[in-house]
Chain A
Amino acid sequence: MSVIGVVGAGVMGVGVAQNLAQCGYDVVLVDKDEETLDAARATITRNCRMSALMGGPALDADEILARITTAVGVGALAKASTVIENVTENWEIKQRVHREIDEVCAPDTVVIVNTSAIPITRVASLSSRPAQTVGVHFMNPVPAKPVVELIPGVHTSQETVQRTRDLLTGMGKKAVEVKDSAGFVSNRVLMLTVNEAAYLVHEGVATAEQVDEVFRGCFGHPMGPLETADLIGVDTILYSVEVLYEHYADSKYRPCPLLKQMTDAGLHGRKSGRGFYTYDG
Protein backbone atom coordinates (compact mmCIF):
# COMPACT_ATOMS: atom_id res chain seq x y z
CA MET A 1 0.00 0.00 0.00
CA SER A 2 1.34 3.43 -0.88
CA VAL A 3 2.23 6.10 1.62
CA ILE A 4 -0.20 8.85 2.55
CA GLY A 5 1.37 12.23 3.31
CA VAL A 6 -0.06 14.25 6.19
CA VAL A 7 1.01 17.90 6.38
CA GLY A 8 0.72 19.68 9.71
CA ALA A 9 1.05 17.96 13.11
CA GLY A 10 -1.47 20.07 14.98
CA VAL A 11 -4.70 18.70 16.43
CA MET A 12 -6.24 17.86 13.05
CA GLY A 13 -3.10 16.51 11.37
CA VAL A 14 -2.34 14.26 14.32
CA GLY A 15 -5.91 12.94 14.29
CA VAL A 16 -5.75 12.26 10.54
CA ALA A 17 -2.36 10.52 10.83
CA GLN A 18 -3.56 8.36 13.73
CA ASN A 19 -6.79 7.45 11.93
CA LEU A 20 -4.88 6.43 8.78
CA ALA A 21 -2.35 4.35 10.74
CA GLN A 22 -5.14 2.69 12.75
CA CYS A 23 -6.69 1.63 9.45
CA GLY A 24 -3.45 0.10 8.20
CA TYR A 25 -2.09 2.90 6.01
CA ASP A 26 1.57 3.89 6.04
CA VAL A 27 1.84 7.58 6.81
CA VAL A 28 4.50 10.24 6.52
CA LEU A 29 3.67 13.12 8.86
CA VAL A 30 5.50 16.39 8.21
CA ASP A 31 5.73 19.69 10.07
CA LYS A 32 8.21 22.52 10.37
CA ASP A 33 10.20 21.35 13.41
CA GLU A 34 11.11 18.29 15.49
CA GLU A 35 9.46 19.62 18.66
CA THR A 36 6.04 19.64 17.00
CA LEU A 37 6.59 16.12 15.67
CA ASP A 38 7.69 14.87 19.11
CA ALA A 39 4.55 16.38 20.63
CA ALA A 40 2.49 14.68 17.90
CA ARG A 41 3.91 11.26 18.81
CA ALA A 42 3.16 11.91 22.50
CA THR A 43 -0.41 12.92 21.63
CA ILE A 44 -0.96 9.77 19.58
CA THR A 45 0.32 7.63 22.47
CA ARG A 46 -2.08 9.40 24.85
CA ASN A 47 -5.00 9.13 22.43
CA CYS A 48 -4.40 5.40 22.01
CA ARG A 49 -4.41 4.97 25.79
CA MET A 50 -7.75 6.75 26.06
CA SER A 51 -9.43 5.00 23.15
CA ALA A 52 -10.98 2.06 24.96
CA LEU A 53 -12.18 4.30 27.79
CA MET A 54 -14.11 6.38 25.29
CA GLY A 55 -15.87 3.33 23.90
CA GLY A 56 -13.48 2.96 20.97
CA PRO A 57 -11.22 0.04 20.11
CA ALA A 58 -8.27 -0.88 22.36
CA LEU A 59 -5.29 0.53 20.47
CA ASP A 60 -1.64 -0.40 20.63
CA ALA A 61 0.23 2.91 20.41
CA ASP A 62 3.53 1.26 19.40
CA GLU A 63 1.88 -0.59 16.53
CA ILE A 64 0.20 2.61 15.29
CA LEU A 65 3.32 4.76 15.65
CA ALA A 66 5.29 2.13 13.71
CA ARG A 67 3.21 3.01 10.63
CA ILE A 68 3.90 6.74 10.98
CA THR A 69 7.19 8.22 9.77
CA THR A 70 7.77 11.82 10.76
CA ALA A 71 9.88 14.36 8.89
CA VAL A 72 10.69 18.05 9.00
CA GLY A 73 9.73 19.90 5.80
CA VAL A 74 7.69 18.83 2.79
CA GLY A 75 10.49 16.94 0.99
CA ALA A 76 9.31 13.60 2.39
CA LEU A 77 5.98 14.00 0.55
CA ALA A 78 7.62 13.15 -2.80
CA LYS A 79 6.74 9.46 -2.36
CA ALA A 80 3.13 10.00 -1.27
CA SER A 81 0.24 8.98 -3.53
CA THR A 82 -2.12 11.27 -1.63
CA VAL A 83 -1.35 14.26 0.57
CA ILE A 84 -3.72 15.56 3.23
CA GLU A 85 -2.91 19.15 4.21
CA ASN A 86 -3.98 20.23 7.72
CA VAL A 87 -2.19 23.51 8.40
CA THR A 88 -3.83 26.37 10.26
CA GLU A 89 -6.82 28.17 8.72
CA ASN A 90 -4.79 31.14 7.62
CA TRP A 91 -4.75 31.98 3.93
CA GLU A 92 -1.13 33.19 3.90
CA ILE A 93 0.09 29.92 5.44
CA LYS A 94 -2.17 27.75 3.28
CA GLN A 95 -0.84 29.51 0.16
CA ARG A 96 2.79 28.96 1.07
CA VAL A 97 2.31 25.31 2.00
CA HIS A 98 0.29 24.47 -1.13
CA ARG A 99 2.94 25.99 -3.37
CA GLU A 100 5.54 23.82 -1.62
CA ILE A 101 3.36 20.71 -1.92
CA ASP A 102 2.85 21.44 -5.61
CA GLU A 103 6.59 21.61 -6.21
CA VAL A 104 7.58 18.47 -4.38
CA CYS A 105 4.79 15.96 -5.12
CA ALA A 106 4.62 13.44 -7.95
CA PRO A 107 2.40 14.40 -10.91
CA ASP A 108 -0.40 11.95 -10.09
CA THR A 109 -0.64 12.87 -6.38
CA VAL A 110 -4.09 13.79 -5.07
CA VAL A 111 -3.97 16.80 -2.76
CA ILE A 112 -6.67 16.89 -0.09
CA VAL A 113 -7.25 20.20 1.68
CA ASN A 114 -8.55 19.72 5.23
CA THR A 115 -10.30 22.98 5.95
CA SER A 116 -13.45 24.09 7.70
CA ALA A 117 -13.84 27.42 5.92
CA ILE A 118 -11.54 28.17 2.97
CA PRO A 119 -13.03 27.57 -0.51
CA ILE A 120 -11.35 24.64 -2.30
CA THR A 121 -11.38 26.32 -5.70
CA ARG A 122 -9.32 29.14 -4.19
CA VAL A 123 -6.70 26.68 -2.90
CA ALA A 124 -6.77 24.80 -6.25
CA SER A 125 -5.92 28.07 -8.03
CA LEU A 126 -2.43 27.81 -6.46
CA SER A 127 -1.83 24.34 -7.87
CA SER A 128 -0.55 23.18 -11.24
CA ARG A 129 -3.07 20.30 -10.95
CA PRO A 130 -6.41 21.76 -9.88
CA ALA A 131 -8.17 18.61 -11.14
CA GLN A 132 -6.39 16.66 -8.38
CA THR A 133 -7.16 19.12 -5.58
CA VAL A 134 -10.17 18.36 -3.40
CA GLY A 135 -11.48 19.39 0.02
CA VAL A 136 -12.32 17.21 3.00
CA HIS A 137 -13.57 18.78 6.22
CA PHE A 138 -12.61 16.32 8.94
CA MET A 139 -14.22 16.71 12.37
CA ASN A 140 -12.35 16.68 15.67
CA PRO A 141 -11.38 14.23 17.16
CA VAL A 142 -10.76 12.72 13.72
CA PRO A 143 -10.58 8.99 14.63
CA ALA A 144 -13.87 9.20 16.55
CA LYS A 145 -15.97 11.11 14.01
CA PRO A 146 -17.51 8.91 11.32
CA VAL A 147 -18.75 11.59 8.89
CA VAL A 148 -16.84 14.23 6.88
CA GLU A 149 -17.76 16.86 4.33
CA LEU A 150 -16.27 16.11 0.88
CA ILE A 151 -15.92 19.19 -1.30
CA PRO A 152 -14.88 19.07 -4.97
CA GLY A 153 -13.68 22.41 -6.35
CA VAL A 154 -14.77 23.75 -9.73
CA HIS A 155 -11.96 21.88 -11.54
CA THR A 156 -11.80 18.71 -9.41
CA SER A 157 -12.06 15.57 -11.59
CA GLN A 158 -14.42 12.67 -10.93
CA GLU A 159 -11.38 10.40 -10.66
CA THR A 160 -10.00 12.55 -7.84
CA VAL A 161 -13.35 12.48 -6.06
CA GLN A 162 -13.48 8.69 -6.39
CA ARG A 163 -9.90 8.22 -5.15
CA THR A 164 -10.72 10.43 -2.18
CA ARG A 165 -13.93 8.54 -1.45
CA ASP A 166 -12.00 5.25 -1.54
CA LEU A 167 -9.44 6.61 0.92
CA LEU A 168 -12.16 7.92 3.22
CA THR A 169 -13.92 4.56 3.12
CA GLY A 170 -10.62 2.94 4.05
CA MET A 171 -10.43 5.33 7.02
CA GLY A 172 -13.90 4.27 8.13
CA LYS A 173 -15.52 7.55 7.12
CA LYS A 174 -18.77 8.34 5.38
CA ALA A 175 -18.49 11.35 3.09
CA VAL A 176 -21.29 13.86 2.56
CA GLU A 177 -20.48 15.57 -0.74
CA VAL A 178 -21.39 19.26 -0.83
CA LYS A 179 -20.61 22.07 -3.25
CA ASP A 180 -17.70 24.41 -2.72
CA SER A 181 -18.79 27.36 -0.58
CA ALA A 182 -16.78 29.09 2.16
CA GLY A 183 -17.65 27.38 5.46
CA PHE A 184 -19.44 24.56 3.57
CA VAL A 185 -22.50 23.31 5.45
CA SER A 186 -21.16 22.73 8.95
CA ASN A 187 -19.44 26.00 9.65
CA ARG A 188 -21.82 28.33 7.88
CA VAL A 189 -24.34 27.20 10.48
CA LEU A 190 -22.10 26.45 13.48
CA MET A 191 -20.03 29.65 13.33
CA LEU A 192 -23.16 31.79 13.08
CA THR A 193 -24.62 29.94 16.06
CA VAL A 194 -21.51 30.38 18.21
CA ASN A 195 -21.14 34.03 17.14
CA GLU A 196 -24.75 34.75 18.05
CA ALA A 197 -24.37 32.89 21.36
CA ALA A 198 -21.38 35.16 22.11
CA TYR A 199 -23.58 38.19 21.33
CA LEU A 200 -26.11 36.98 23.92
CA VAL A 201 -23.36 36.99 26.57
CA HIS A 202 -21.92 40.27 25.24
CA GLU A 203 -25.32 41.99 25.47
CA GLY A 204 -26.04 40.56 28.92
CA VAL A 205 -29.09 38.62 27.72
CA ALA A 206 -27.76 35.43 29.31
CA THR A 207 -24.63 33.99 30.89
CA ALA A 208 -22.54 31.41 29.03
CA GLU A 209 -23.88 28.76 31.42
CA GLN A 210 -27.47 29.73 30.65
CA VAL A 211 -26.95 29.72 26.89
CA ASP A 212 -25.36 26.27 27.01
CA GLU A 213 -28.00 24.91 29.37
CA VAL A 214 -30.74 25.90 26.92
CA PHE A 215 -29.01 24.01 24.10
CA ARG A 216 -28.27 20.96 26.20
CA GLY A 217 -31.62 20.81 27.95
CA CYS A 218 -34.01 21.96 25.22
CA PHE A 219 -32.40 20.44 22.16
CA GLY A 220 -30.54 17.51 23.67
CA HIS A 221 -27.19 18.71 22.35
CA PRO A 222 -24.34 17.08 24.29
CA MET A 223 -22.51 20.43 24.47
CA GLY A 224 -23.75 24.01 24.31
CA PRO A 225 -22.35 26.42 21.67
CA LEU A 226 -20.04 28.25 24.09
CA GLU A 227 -18.57 25.05 25.52
CA THR A 228 -17.99 24.11 21.90
CA ALA A 229 -16.30 27.48 21.29
CA ASP A 230 -13.93 26.83 24.20
CA LEU A 231 -13.16 23.37 22.80
CA ILE A 232 -12.50 24.61 19.26
CA GLY A 233 -10.68 27.74 20.48
CA VAL A 234 -12.23 31.19 20.76
CA ASP A 235 -9.52 32.57 18.45
CA THR A 236 -10.25 29.89 15.83
CA ILE A 237 -13.96 30.74 16.02
CA LEU A 238 -13.17 34.42 15.47
CA TYR A 239 -10.92 33.70 12.47
CA SER A 240 -13.55 31.44 10.93
CA VAL A 241 -16.28 34.05 11.36
CA GLU A 242 -13.96 36.66 9.85
CA VAL A 243 -13.30 34.40 6.84
CA LEU A 244 -17.05 34.05 6.30
CA TYR A 245 -17.60 37.80 6.75
CA GLU A 246 -14.85 38.62 4.28
CA HIS A 247 -15.93 36.01 1.75
CA TYR A 248 -19.66 36.74 1.66
CA ALA A 249 -19.48 40.46 2.56
CA ASP A 250 -22.71 39.78 4.44
CA SER A 251 -23.38 41.53 7.74
CA LYS A 252 -24.96 38.40 9.19
CA TYR A 253 -21.39 37.18 9.74
CA ARG A 254 -20.31 40.29 11.70
CA PRO A 255 -17.88 39.01 14.37
CA CYS A 256 -19.04 39.57 17.95
CA PRO A 257 -16.77 42.15 19.68
CA LEU A 258 -16.59 39.84 22.71
CA LEU A 259 -14.86 37.19 20.58
CA LYS A 260 -12.31 39.80 19.47
CA GLN A 261 -11.70 41.01 23.00
CA MET A 262 -11.34 37.47 24.36
CA THR A 263 -8.92 36.62 21.54
CA ASP A 264 -6.83 39.73 22.27
CA ALA A 265 -6.88 38.91 25.98
CA GLY A 266 -5.61 35.37 25.39
CA LEU A 267 -8.87 33.84 26.64
CA HIS A 268 -8.80 31.18 23.93
CA GLY A 269 -10.74 28.46 25.74
CA ARG A 270 -9.55 25.07 26.94
CA LYS A 271 -6.12 25.31 25.34
CA SER A 272 -5.29 28.49 27.32
CA GLY A 273 -7.13 27.46 30.50
CA ARG A 274 -9.80 30.14 30.22
CA GLY A 275 -12.43 31.12 27.70
CA PHE A 276 -16.14 31.33 28.39
CA TYR A 277 -15.31 28.91 31.24
CA THR A 278 -12.24 28.36 33.41
CA TYR A 279 -10.27 25.10 33.26
CA ASP A 280 -7.74 23.70 35.70
CA GLY A 281 -4.42 22.20 34.79
Chain B
Amino acid sequence: MANTHAQTIRAFIVGRHPQAELTDDQDIFSLGFINSLFAMELVMFIEKEFGVSLPNDELRIDNFRTVSSMAELVERRLAGAVSA
Protein backbone atom coordinates (compact mmCIF):
# COMPACT_ATOMS: atom_id res chain seq x y z
CA MET B 1 0.00 0.00 0.00
CA ALA B 2 2.79 2.43 0.93
CA ASN B 3 4.02 2.05 -2.63
CA THR B 4 0.65 3.18 -4.04
CA HIS B 5 0.54 6.07 -1.58
CA ALA B 6 4.01 7.09 -2.70
CA GLN B 7 2.93 7.09 -6.35
CA THR B 8 -0.08 9.26 -5.56
CA ILE B 9 1.99 11.73 -3.53
CA ARG B 10 4.73 11.86 -6.16
CA ALA B 11 2.16 12.51 -8.89
CA PHE B 12 0.78 15.45 -6.88
CA ILE B 13 4.21 17.02 -6.42
CA VAL B 14 5.29 16.47 -10.02
CA GLY B 15 1.94 17.94 -11.12
CA ARG B 16 3.00 21.18 -9.43
CA HIS B 17 6.61 20.97 -10.59
CA PRO B 18 6.35 19.48 -14.09
CA GLN B 19 10.02 20.06 -14.83
CA ALA B 20 11.06 17.92 -11.87
CA GLU B 21 12.41 14.40 -11.99
CA LEU B 22 11.63 13.21 -8.52
CA THR B 23 12.51 9.93 -6.87
CA ASP B 24 10.82 8.70 -3.70
CA ASP B 25 13.91 9.36 -1.60
CA GLN B 26 14.90 12.82 -2.76
CA ASP B 27 14.68 15.61 -0.19
CA ILE B 28 12.01 17.97 -1.55
CA PHE B 29 13.06 20.69 0.91
CA SER B 30 16.64 20.76 -0.35
CA LEU B 31 15.36 20.66 -3.94
CA GLY B 32 13.62 23.94 -3.23
CA PHE B 33 10.08 22.72 -3.97
CA ILE B 34 8.69 23.73 -0.63
CA ASN B 35 7.41 27.18 0.12
CA SER B 36 4.79 27.86 2.77
CA LEU B 37 1.89 27.72 0.30
CA PHE B 38 3.01 24.47 -1.26
CA ALA B 39 3.59 22.93 2.16
CA MET B 40 0.03 23.80 3.13
CA GLU B 41 -1.31 22.39 -0.14
CA LEU B 42 0.64 19.22 0.48
CA VAL B 43 -0.77 18.78 3.99
CA MET B 44 -4.31 19.46 2.76
CA PHE B 45 -3.85 17.09 -0.18
CA ILE B 46 -2.65 14.26 2.07
CA GLU B 47 -5.48 14.77 4.56
CA LYS B 48 -8.13 14.87 1.81
CA GLU B 49 -6.75 12.24 -0.55
CA PHE B 50 -6.12 9.58 2.11
CA GLY B 51 -8.86 10.61 4.56
CA VAL B 52 -6.44 11.01 7.44
CA SER B 53 -6.00 13.82 9.92
CA LEU B 54 -2.49 14.97 10.70
CA PRO B 55 -2.06 16.13 14.29
CA ASN B 56 0.29 19.02 15.00
CA ASP B 57 3.07 16.82 16.34
CA GLU B 58 3.20 14.96 12.99
CA LEU B 59 3.66 18.20 11.03
CA ARG B 60 7.44 17.96 11.16
CA ILE B 61 9.94 18.43 8.37
CA ASP B 62 11.20 14.84 8.78
CA ASN B 63 7.74 13.48 7.95
CA PHE B 64 7.55 15.52 4.74
CA ARG B 65 11.14 15.45 3.56
CA THR B 66 10.70 12.72 0.95
CA VAL B 67 7.86 11.01 -0.91
CA SER B 68 8.71 7.84 1.04
CA SER B 69 8.51 9.55 4.43
CA MET B 70 5.12 11.03 3.52
CA ALA B 71 3.86 7.61 2.36
CA GLU B 72 5.03 6.12 5.68
CA LEU B 73 3.25 8.89 7.56
CA VAL B 74 0.03 8.09 5.68
CA GLU B 75 0.42 4.36 6.44
CA ARG B 76 0.99 5.13 10.10
CA ARG B 77 -2.04 7.39 10.35
CA LEU B 78 -4.26 4.91 8.49
CA ALA B 79 -3.11 2.09 10.78
CA GLY B 80 -3.73 4.32 13.82
CA ALA B 81 -7.24 5.12 12.57
CA VAL B 82 -8.06 1.41 12.14
CA SER B 83 -6.73 0.37 15.54
CA ALA B 84 -8.28 3.36 17.34
A and B form one complex: yes
Q: A49, B41: Cβ atoms under 8 Å?
A: no
Question: Is residue A46 within 8 Å, beta carbon to beta carbon, of the partner chain?
Answer: yes
CA distance A281 to B38 in the complex (A): 12
Chain B residues near A46: list those with CB within 8 A.
40
Count residues of A near B (Cβ-Cβ below 8 Å). 16
Q: Is the interface of B mostly helix, strand, loop or mixed?
A: helix
Question: Is residue B35 within 8 Å, beta carbon to beta carbon, of the partner chain?
Answer: yes
Our pick among B37, B43, B44, B59 for the contact of A231 (Cβ within 8 Å) is: B37
Question: Is residue A54 within 8 Å, beta carbon to beta carbon, of the partner chain?
Answer: yes
Our pick among B35, B40, B41, B61 for the contact of A222 (Cβ within 8 Å) is: B35
Question: Is residue B32 within 8 Å, beta carbon to beta carbon, of the partner chain?
Answer: yes
Q: A281, B44: Cβ atoms under 8 Å?
A: yes
Question: Is residue B83 within 8 Å, beta carbon to beta carbon, of the partner chain?
Answer: no
Q: B37, A55: Cβ atoms under 8 Å?
A: no
CA distance A279 to B43 in the complex (A): 16
Q: B37, A52: Cβ atoms under 8 Å?
A: no
Name 6 interchain pairs, CB-CB below 8 A, sorted by A.
Answer: A49-B43, A53-B60, A55-B61, A223-B35, A281-B44, A281-B45
Residues of B within 8 A of A (CB): 19, 32, 34-37, 39-41, 43-45, 56, 59-61, 64
